[in-house]
Amino acid sequence: MNQTARRLGNSAVHVGPLGLGCWPLAGMTRGGITAADAQATVAAAIAAGITHLDTAYCYGEAGESEAAIAAALSTHRRADVVLAGKCGIHWEPGRKQVVDGRPERLRREVDESLRRLGTDHVDLLYLHAPDPRIPIEESAGALASLRAEGKTLAVGASNISVDLLRRFAAVCPLDACQMHYNILQREIEADVLPWCRARGVSVVAYWPLMKGLLTDTMARDRVFPATDSRHKYPMFQGDEFQRNLDFVEALRPIAHRLGRRVPEIVLAWTAEQDGITSVLVGATNPDQIRENAGSLTCQLDDEARRAIARAVAARGTVASRKPV
């Protein structure tokens, strides 16, 4: 993996090819994660050279992810990290997720996030998701104003269609777009990725390890409890789950030949795709960070790329990301 810092769109912000996705630190999708665990994970990421920290207002019912980042940053210079935040989704009682793109709501969330993080600005601010009740132009205008005020240096949009990207960019020029993307789930190659490439918009990928599936650590009889959100996703169910594990097995000899582990070659492959600027990996403890950081020194050769392509073709179409 090329470790050179990469520019985010037309902004002055640069990020490494590997970032820390801080959603798991909130403990909402998997139980048993303490505040100390979350803080230690962030600190381990920074120590490993993973200084692109991606969080959001809704990562935790009370900002647990942002609190962990703030605690870890108490012993680091603010300039040593790139903070990416998101606004536009919040929780209501009963863990009801609400998408709200009203300008006044977006501003309120950003101001609260900045207080939680202990900073006067984030480096990158995304609209977390479009609100179907609000014209995207209104939400885009709010983020443009926040950038003009210096509360963010760059603007992005996440979980969004090309049509809405186009409308957003007409009001507020975009520096980044964050979408799910991995070696098997490659839907954005048909539309979003080409659109962004043509306009110099950076694409930041989440789910590069397919929610842990591509880490090569899952047993075939794995059962996900109700406290683990993966039990809802078809890629972790029945025949689909078994076929995905077959694919992981096919990657093992490729990784072995390079003296690497499966997740290292998966992350290296993702980071080298045309148009992908940074890849976000989640973690819930420092050991996972150190393992993922190994991908920073992983270099794929043409033989490995061809073997990966054959394995992808043999796997065929995978299930949608949408829960059932």
Give me the residue spans of the domains in the chain: 6-212+269-298
Beta bridge partners, 92, equal 96
Active-site option among 59, 126, 206, 233: 59
Contacts of 77 (CB under 8 A, 6+ apart): none
Answer whether 7's CB lies under 8 Å from 13's CB.
Answer: yes
Please state, in angstroms and rounded to a whole number, the distance separating the CA atoms of residues 232 and 229.
6
Active site residue 233: no
Beta strands in 30-182 (DSSP E): 52-54, 82-87, 89-92, 96-99, 122-127, 152-158, 176-180
CATH 3.40.309.10 corresponds to the domain 6-212+269-298: no
Q: What is the pLDDT of residues 120-150, one digit of tens each?
A: 999 999 999 999 999 999 999 999 999 999 9
Q: What is the pLDDT of residues 38-55, one digit of tens each?
A: 999 999 999 999 999 999
Q: What is the pLDDT of residues 187-239, one digit of tens each?
A: 999 999 999 999 999 999 999 999 999 999 999 999 888 888 888 899 999 99
Q: Once rounded to an integer, what is the mean pLDDT over residues 268-279?
A: 98
Q: What is the pLDDT of residue 175?
A: 98
pTM, two decimals, is 0.95
Beta strands in the chain (DSSP E): 6-7, 14-15, 18-21, 52-54, 82-87, 89-92, 96-99, 122-127, 152-158, 176-180, 202-206, 276-282
Q: What is the pLDDT of residues 164-178, one digit of tens each?
A: 999 999 999 999 999
Q: What is the pLDDT of residues 81-96, one digit of tens each?
A: 999 999 999 999 999 9
